[in-house]
DNA sequence: GCAAATTTTAAGGCTTCTCTCAGCTTCTTT
DNA sequence: AAAGAAGCTGAGAGAAGCCTTAAAATTTGC
């Protein structure tokens, strides 16, 4: 999952980046409104974390511009201001959530999870057939037996699961899971798909990841009932 | 927009109901967990507002049950508790947002608006008679049975479907689907039309692709009803 | 600092897809 | 009715894309 942090205080930005990367997010950062907006407009993120007070373009303005372009990416606003008008103003200008500094990292994480799960079922865990992923504990299960995955394997599977029933193109996968923004003729994806399939098959979740030739991969619930 | 408020304190419940009705919401109320859950399960709401502390079933428990049933309706949790664990616990158990008592009505309104605006169930699938094409998942269906198509087959069919009821000339097809911009006396199109017809027929979608001799092809809804 | 685990690269093999070609059928015109 | 034009279809060569494996590079943990 790929996040963008727009925050001018290097301390906070660094702290967030580090913490979120430990949680296996792919994190980009920007230190002012303009460059942040640029990044947000030219790349595809799964979530934006934007500080209200930014040099140049304000966080609200960034948020508004992003929305104006039709982009529905979830936005969490980070702020020291907490008067009623501020909260309402922020939410009405496109933010999905609002968190007041100083905040605890755990709470931010929980709120990020909420925003990311909205696309899916409404339960934190991701399910497809027998397979179940728990993004909080970074565990995968097939039925009751745990499947041990490496971090990259988990990230890839998580991305596929969060986009269950949608095609994940190779370029999106390489962007969201590997955070690579340029063309490259690597075959890491193939290799990791092989890894995953091997482990899933061994655990009993067969045929879950399907290839769409020339496009990418997709996870589809088996339609046998 | 139809809301359900589950709140045991009559004062707060009444205040909310009144205020929200002034905002043109249709509001139902329940004063305990069990009856609230009943209502939520048997009716279709656009949003639930649930107090954490309820007699009988707790708000969290109601929230969890609703989710367990597969219902993705947005939930805002109303609470006096505000320790870190509580927030995280609430969000992780299915709530979409969390608002601390005492709150200002304006803020609640703003948060409701956020939850309600997040829904774009854009079903952009293409249909013609029995045939249904989903460009997002790269799947084609005839009724309920899937038709497996190769990338080129899919592209061609997609192009025809997007121009449903319009004639697609050979030169346009070769431009849009094959990206060939010069005259060429290839017969790929014929071949692929054959492929498609074969697969569509096998699946039960007969006669959908019609030939316009000397011009091209067209997909027409069958006019038998 | 070393060993183990993880990630990445590279290459060969294999499957599947694409497109040409040639013969055939259908349609149109005279 | 015949001849030419346009479209249909099956087979097969070549190409593209994907899978797999092994080994190199990097990171992590002790």
- Within chain B, what is the greatest distance between any pair of CA atoms? 80
In this complex, the answer to whether residue B198 has its CB under 7 A from any atom of chain D, a nucleic strand, is yes
Residue at the smallest CA–C1' distance to nucleotide C15: A213
In terms of average pLDDT, the best of A78-87, A90-99, A188-197, B43-52 is: A188-197
Mutation target to probe the B interface, by most B beta carbons within 10 A, among A123, A127, A134, A225 is: A123
pLDDT in tens, A43-75: 888 999 999 989 888 999 999 988 887 788 999
Query: Does B72 contact A121 at a Cβ distance shorter than 8 Å?
Result: yes
Last residue of a domain, one of B57, B85, B117: B117
Cis bond leading into A102, ω under 30°?
Answer: yes
Can you give the distance from the CA of residue B139 to the C1' of nucleotide D19 in angstroms? 23
Last residue of a domain, one of B117, B134, B161: B117
User: With contacts defined as CB-CB under 8 Å, which chain A residues touch B70?
Assistant: 121
What is the domain count for chain B? 2
In this structure, the answer to whether residues A76 and A25 fall within a common structural domain is yes
Query: Does A166 contact B137 at a Cβ distance shorter than 8 Å?
Result: yes
Last residue of a domain, one of A92, A117, A142: A117
CA-to-CA distance for B173 and B180, rounded, in angstroms? 9
Residue B224 lies in a domain: no
CA-to-CA distance for B47 and A115, rounded, in angstroms? 16
Identify the pLDDT of residue A225.
27
- Residue span of the structural domain in which A48 resides: 2-117
For tokens 């590997």, the residue is A178
Residue B192 lies in a domain: yes
Mean pLDDT across A159-172: 87
Low-confidence residues in chain B, pLDDT < 70: 22, 24, 118-124, 181, 183-184, 222-225
Average pLDDT of chain B to the nearest whole number = 84
Identify the pLDDT of residue A199.
93
For residue A58, the tally of other CB atoms under 10 A from its CB is 15
Nearest residue on chain B to A136, alpha-carbon basis: B92
pLDDT in tens, B105-155: 778 888 888 888 765 444 568 889 889 998 777 889 998 888 999 989 998
Identify the pLDDT of residue B53.
87
Residue B225 lies in a domain: no
User: How many Å lie between the alpha carbon of B23 and the closest alpha carbon of chain A?
Assistant: 16
Q: Contact B20/B27 with Cβ under 8 angstroms?
A: yes
* CATH at B11: 3.40.50.2300
Mutation target to probe the A interface, by most A beta carbons within 10 A, among B69, B73, B92, B144 is: B92
pLDDT in tens, A115-133: 887 554 555 678 888 899 9
Q: With a threshold of 0.75, does the pTM exceed it?
A: no
């Amino acid at each position: 999952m790929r996040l963008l942090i727009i925050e001018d205080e290097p301390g906070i930005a660094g702290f967030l980046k580090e913490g979120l990367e430990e949680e296996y997010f792919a994190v980009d950062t920007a230190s002012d409104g303009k460059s942040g907006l640029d990044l947000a407009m030219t790349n595809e993120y799964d979530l934006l974390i934007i500080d209200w007070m930014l040099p140049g373009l304000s966080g609200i303005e960034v948020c508004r511009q992003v929305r104006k372009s039709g982009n529905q990416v979830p936005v969490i606003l980070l702020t020291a201001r907490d008067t009623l008008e501020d909260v309402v103003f922020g939410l009405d200008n496109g933010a999905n959530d609002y968190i007041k500094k100083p905040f605890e990292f755990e709470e931010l994480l929980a709120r990020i999870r909420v925003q990311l799960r909205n696309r899916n079922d409404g339960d934190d865990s991701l399910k497809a057939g027998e397979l179940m992923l728990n993004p909080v504990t970074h565990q995968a299960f097939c039925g009751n037996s745990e499947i041990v995955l490496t971090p990259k394997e988990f990230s890839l599977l998580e991305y596929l699961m969060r986009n269950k029933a949608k095609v994940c193109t190779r370029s999106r996968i390489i962007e969201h899971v590997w955070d690579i923004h340029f063309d490259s003729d690597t075959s890491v994806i193939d290799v990791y798909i092989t890894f995953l399939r091997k482990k899933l098959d061994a655990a009993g979740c067969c045929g879950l990841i399907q290839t769409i030739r020339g496009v990418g991969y997709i996870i589809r619930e088996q339609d046998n009932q």
